[in-house]
Each structure stands twice: as structure tokens, then as C-alpha cells.
Amino acid sequence: MKRMLSLSLSALLLLSALVGCGSKDSGTASKTPEEYTEAYKTTIESARDDELNEAVPVVTSTEDDTASLVLSLIGVTDENTDAFAVAISPMNIKAYGVAAILPAEGKSEEVLEGVNAFVEQQKQSFEQYLVDQYEIANAAKVETLDDGTILLVMCEDQDTVLDAIKTSLNG
């Protein structure tokens, strides 16, 4: 399973690199919130297999069916974000979370605190419960990209997934 995931992610990374070689708009106009949201969602879904996409859907709006449950875990609201795509396991049996969040102006610290609090909560939940899931939570990656996007990657093979997401978003 891990080999298949690694091979799939490697293929995705290669595809992303090839797509990035295409012509780019030389303008410096930034993306709209809707464009960020779509890019985030597409990137997260591309970094996962169909089974995981179905089991843990990507939430992109506070109006989504599972939004109230998922977004409260990470502290995402309409007031503190301009765009987001969040996929978090709401079940306390798996340490899983992948999110790309563009904070609203002046809200970066608030969003980063919510993301880090989620990671800490996951560590505490699994520390004495499921050791393998604790290791995943403990290895979670939280980074802020040049455009202000905050990335969270908490899953198996998180380094590969993080690199694939960063490459796709920066490409």
C-alpha cells in the first residue's frame, strides 16, 4: 500500500512538474479566492487515492455538509479565511488532516494557532491510544507558503504529500 501511494505521489509530482513547464502568464495578478479554493481542492484530491477522497471529502465552504464538524476542529471560519480546502478525519480512530488555507488579512496568526491546536489535540488523542496514529500526528507538517497559504499535512508519508502539494500550488 505504501509503495503504491509512493509511486502514485511520485507520478503526481512528475506530472505537476511537467505541467509547470507550460507557458505562464507573465502578469503578476493574484488569484481570486475562488481560484485559490479550486486550486487547493484539486491539489489535495490529486495527492490522494479515490478511496480516501470518498472517505474524507474536501470541505471548501462553511455551507458544505460536514463543514460544521470539520472546520470547528481546525478553527476555520468565513471571518478568518479568504479561501480554504480542508480534509480532516472527524473520527478519533485516524490521525489525518490535509488543509490549504489562505487567511484573511490580519488573520494569519489566528489561523496558524487553530491549525497548530488541531495538531496538538491529535497528538494528545493518540499518545496513549493508538501509537501508530500518534506517530503520524507527531510528524505532521505545518508550513506557510510565500503567498500566505498555510498548509497542514498530517498523514502517512507526509513529506511526499507535502512536497507534491507545494509543487502543484507553486507550479
In this prediction, residue 80 carries a pLDDT of: 96
- What Rg, from alpha-carbon coordinates, does the chain have? 16
In this prediction, residue 151 carries a pLDDT of: 97
In this prediction, residue 163 carries a pLDDT of: 94
Give the separation between CA 7 and CA 151, rounded to whole angstroms: 22
pLDDT means per 10 residues, the chain with 171 residues, are 42 41 46 96 94 93 90 93 93 89 96 96 89 94 96 94 92 70
The domain segmentation of the chain, as residue ranges, is 2-19+31-170
| DSSP letter string, 76-116 | --TTTEEEEEEEE--STT---EEEEEEEPTT-HHHHHHHHH
In this prediction, residue 17 carries a pLDDT of: 41
Give the separation between CA 48 and CA 139, rounded to whole angstroms: 18
Q: Name residues whose C-beta falls within 8 Å of residue 47's C-beta, 6 or more positions apart in sequence.
A: 9, 12, 98, 161, 164, 165, 168
Give the separation between CA 11 and CA 43, rounded to whole angstroms: 14
